Amino acid sequence: MLVVLCAGLGLGPRVAEGYLALQWTRHLVERNLQAPRVADARPVGRWAAQAVDLLAPHPAAWEAARLALDYGRKLQPKDAAAARALLASVREALERAEASWLRRYGRGSLREEVWQAENSLLLDTGGSP
């Protein structure tokens, strides 16, 4: 019983912070559903990456990554560099989750989708990583 209590006390703040990051990601994405704002690209990427880092392998982590991926795709026509920065943050967080034998479960093909979207932005703009 003491072990369960200690585990709950240790994981509680991490889970709460992860859900807060997910809620910020949702808020920023939903606020800009019709016309994504370039100014919100970095915060969306940062909050989504934090949610992935703190909540993986919980499905909420993958939801945050999916929201950021969709936002980056909508932002692409406005500002490819901002979309690329957003996607890079999320890709790096997904790679960190993939490095752990436990945290990688349930992510499906998200990392590959983010990687493909990021590379298509590089090809469209002729930029370098």
Residue 127 pLDDT exceeds 80: no
Name the band, by pLDDT with cuts 50, 70 and 90, for residue 8.
low
- pLDDT at site 117: 82
84 near 42, Cβ under 8 Å? no
Residue 82 pLDDT exceeds 70: yes
Question: Cα 44–41–32 angle (5° rounding)?
Answer: 80
103 near 121, Cβ under 8 Å? no
- pLDDT at site 128: 52
- Please give the share of the chain, as a percent, with pLDDT higher than 70: 84
Residue 90 pLDDT exceeds 60: yes
For 107-120, what is the mean pLDDT? 78
Long-range contacts of 7-13 (CB under 8 A, 24+ apart): none
Question: Cα 109–110–112 angle (5° rounding)?
Answer: 70
User: Rounded to an integer, what distance in angstroms lies between the CA atom of residue 91 and that of residue 124?
Assistant: 19
Q: Is the dihedral of CA 105, 44, 41, 72 positive or negative?
A: positive
Q: Residue 17 burial (CB < 10 Å; 0-12/13-18/19+)? A: middle
- Provide the whole-model pTM: 0.82
